[in-house]
Amino acid sequence: MTPPPAEPVAALIRPPPVARDSQVNRDLLRVMDGVSVGYFGVLALALGFMFAAGGVWIYQVYKGLGIAGYAHPIFWGSYIVTFVFWVGIAHAGTLISAILYLFRAKWRNAINRSAEAMTVFAVLTAAQFLGIHVGRIWKSYFILPYPNQRALWVNFKSPLLWDTFAITTYATISIVFFYVGLIPDLAIARDRSTGWRRALYTVLSLGWEGTSRQWKSHNRTVLHLSGLATPLVLSVHSVVSWDFAMSIVPTWHATIFAPYFVAGAIFSGFAMVLTMMIPVRRIYGLEHIITDYHFENMSRFLLLTSLIVGYAYCAEYFIAWYSGVEAEQTSFWSRAFGPYWISTWVMISCNAIFPQILWFKKARTHVPTLFVLSVLINIGMWFERYVIIIGGLSREYDPAVWGTYTPQWTELIIVAGSFGFFCQFFLMFLKVFPVVAIAEVKEIEIHARAHGEGH
C-alpha cells in the first residue's frame, strides 16, 4: 500500500489496513450497546469519587478553605495544581483534531473523537477548580465583566482574568468542534438505533443525510473551526502559564513558561489519550481500528514533547545560574534538594527520563509499556505543576516567611474526585456517542481503496 502522494504528513505514515465499512459501523456502534457489570463497577467508582469530592467541597464552602493544606505563604495548592493538570490534559484533543487535521495527518482519525471528548471533559474538570479554589465561591461571579449598577469593573491586567476568558473560550470551541465532528456519526447511530436513542440522535444529528452538499459544508466548517482552534491550542496554556510567569515569584517569572507549558500540556494530553484508549481498545476489541500504528505515532509525539519539557527543565536551571539572581538560585536549589525534592525527582524521572525508552521501536509498539509509561507521565505532569507552584511559593524573597505545604486528605479527595468527575463523563460518552469518528475512519478506508493496491 503506498501513501497518498498529495499529503505530506500522511506521506510519512503508512495508513493501516481498515476493515470494511459495514464492519466499521458495526464494530464502533457495538461499543455503545449494552452495559456490563464491569462498566457499572467502574462508573460507580468514578461517581463515588465524584460525590465524595462534592461532599468535601460542600464542607469546605461551609467551613472555609482552612480544611485544605494551605500554609502561609503557599496560598495556591493542590487545587491550582490539578487545575493546570486538567487544562494540560485538554490539549491533546484540539491538537489532534485541529492541528493534525490542518496537517492532513489522516492517522488521527482513529483517535480524534475520544481525544476531543477528553478535551471537553478535561476543560470542564479544570473549570471546577477555579470555583473550588477561590475563597468565596458565592461571589466568584465578580470575575465576569457584567454591567452593573455600581459600575464595578474587572481588572483586565490580571492574568487570572485572561485565564477565565481563555478557559471559557477554549471550552466553547472544544464543545463546538466536538459536536460538529459528531454530526455524521450521530446520523449513522440514528439510523441504527431505536427508542430514546433514536429520538436523541435525531435531534442531535440535525437532519444529516450524508449528501455531498452536507459533506461539503461539514468539511468546510471543520476546516474553519480547525483554523480557529489551532491558535487556541497554543494560547490557552500560554495564558495559564502567565498566571505564573506574570508574577514576580522566583522560578515563576520566566519567559520560557508559555512554550514550556504548551509542550507539557500536549505531552500530558497525549499521555492521557493513551491511558484512556489502551483499555478502551482492549475491552471493546477495537484493535483493528485503533492500531499499534496509532499508538506508535502518539509515542513519537510523546518523545518529542518529552524532549521539549526536558529541555525546559534544564533551561530553567541554566537561567537561574546564569542570571545571578540569588533568590532564583535559592529557590531552584530548594526545588531539587529542599523539602520538595521527591516531587521534583518524580517529575524529572517521569517526564524527561522514562520517556526516552520511546527511542526504541520495541517500546513504541509494546502496548503494556506504553500504558505504564503514559500513567507515569500523567503522574509526572501532576508533580511538575506541584513542584512549580508549591516549590516556587515556598522559597520566596523573604526568608523569614519561607514555608512548607502538605496537602490534606480533604483536598486529596477533591483531587481524586476530579478524576472521578472526568471518568464518569468519559464512561457515559462511551455509551452515548461513537467512540471513534466512524465517518472519518471510513473516509480513510475509502481513500485506501481508491489509491491502494490489492483490493
Partner 1 sequence: MSEIDRREFLKIVGVGAGAAAAAGCYRYSELPEKLIPYVIQDEEIIPGLPVIYASTCQECSAGCGVHVRTRESRPIKLEGNPQHPINRGSLCARGQAGIGRTYHPDRYVGPLQRGSDGAFAKTTWDDAQHTVAARIAAAQGKVAVLGAPTGPALSRLIDAWLAAVGGGSRVVYEPFAREALREATSAVFGVASEPIFDLEGCDLVIDFGADSVGGSGRSPVEHARQLMAARDVAKEEGRASRLVYVGPRLDETASVADEWLPAKPGSEGVLALAVARVAFETRSKGAPGSEASLQGVLAGFSPESAAERTGVSADAIRRLGRAVAAAKKAVALPPGVALTSRRAVATNAAVLVLDVVAGAVGTSLHIPPATETRVASFRDAVKLIDAMKSGDVKVLLVHGGANPVHTLPPDSGFTAALEKVGTVVSFASLPDETSERAHFVLPDHTPLESWGDAAPRPGVRSLVQPTIRPLFDTQALGDSLLGIARAMGDGVAGSLPAGSFRGVVESAWSGTSLRAALERGGEFGEGSYASPSLSASLARIEWREPQLEGEGEFVLLPVPSPLLGDGSGAHLPWLQETPDPITKITWQSWAEISERAAASLGVRPGDVLKVETPFGSLEVPVWPRGGIRDDVIAVAIGQGHTVGRYAAVQTPDGSSAPRGVNVISVLPSLTDEAGGRAWLAAKARVRAAGRFERLPFTQETDDKRGRMLGEAISLVALAEGGPSPWAPNQAAAVVDHGTPITGAAAAATPLGEVAPGEHAGEGDKHHEPEILRAYDAVADSLPTDPFRWGMTIDVDRCTGCSACVVACSIENNVPIVGETQVKRARIMSWLRIERYVGTGEPTLQPARPGPQNHEELGKTDVRNSPMLCQHCGAAPCEPVCPVLATYHSPSGLNGMIYNRCIGTRYCSNNCPYKVRRFNWYDYQIETWPQPQPLMLNPDVTVRAQGVMEKCTFCIQRIQAGRLLAKTEGNATPADGAVKTACQQTCPTGAIHFGNLKDEKSEVREAAAQGAGRAYHALHDLNTRPAITYLARVRREGEDHSA
Q: Residues in the site for partner 1, rule: CB under 8 A?
A: 63-66, 69-73, 75-76, 133-136, 139-140, 142-143, 152-155, 157-161, 164, 243, 246-249, 326-327, 329-330, 333-334, 337-339, 341, 393, 396-404
Shortest CB 430 distance to partner 1, Å: 36
Nearer to partner 1, 107 or 242 (CB): 242
Distance CA 85, CA 265 (A): 8
CA distance 344 to 388: 9
Q: Write down the least CB distance from residue 325 to partner 1, Å.
A: 9
Q: Whole-number minimum distance, CB 419 to partner 1, in Å?
A: 24
CA pair distance 332, 392, nearest whole angstrom = 8
3-state helix vs strand vs coil in the chain, percent to 5: 75, 0, 25
Give me the least distance between CB of 89 and partner 1, in Å please. Answer: 22
**Residue whose CB is less far from partner 1, 148 or 194:** 148
Q: Maximum distance among all alpha carbons in the chain? A: 75
Least Cα distance to 181 among 237, 117, 245 occurs for 117
Minimum distance between the CB of residue 252 and partner 1, rounded to whole angstroms?
Answer: 8
Our CB check for partner 1 shows the closer of 199 and 314 to be: 314
Identify the DSSP state of 350.
I
Q: Are 328 and 250 in contact (CB under 8 A)?
A: yes
Cβ closer to partner 1: 133 or 385?
Answer: 133
Of the two residues 97 and 334, which places its CB atom closer to partner 1 in the complex? 334
Q: How far is the CB of 345 from partner 1 (least distance, A)?
A: 13
Distance CA 409, CA 69 (A): 9
Tell me the CA distances in angstroms from 368 to 248, 279, 286, 375, one per residue in order: 43, 10, 16, 11
CB of 83 to partner 1, least distance (A): 12
CB-wise, 15 or 250, nearer to partner 1? 250
Q: Between 141 and 196, whose beta carbon lies closer to partner 1? A: 141
Give the Cα separation of 301 and 314 in Å (integer): 20
Q: Quick count: other Cβ atoms within 10 Å of Cβ 56? A: 22
CB–CB of 391/251 below 8 Å?
A: yes
Give which of 136, 109, 141, 148 is closest to 439, Cα–Cα: 109
Of the pair 168, 365, the CB lying nearest partner 1 is at: 168
Quote the least distance from Cβ 228 to partner 1, whole Å.
25
Q: 376: which 3 cell numbers? A: 507515569
Report how far Cα 69 is from the mean position of its chain's Cα atoms.
26
Q: In this complex, which beta carbon is closest to partner 1, that of residue 335 or of residue 364?
A: 335
CB neighbours of residue 446 within 10 Å:
12
Q: How far is the CB of 56 from partner 1 (least distance, A)?
A: 15
Q: Which three cell numbers stand for residue 348?
A: 524529572
Question: Hey, what's the cell of 318?
Answer: 541554566
Helix axes 78-89, 367-386, angle to 10 degrees: 140
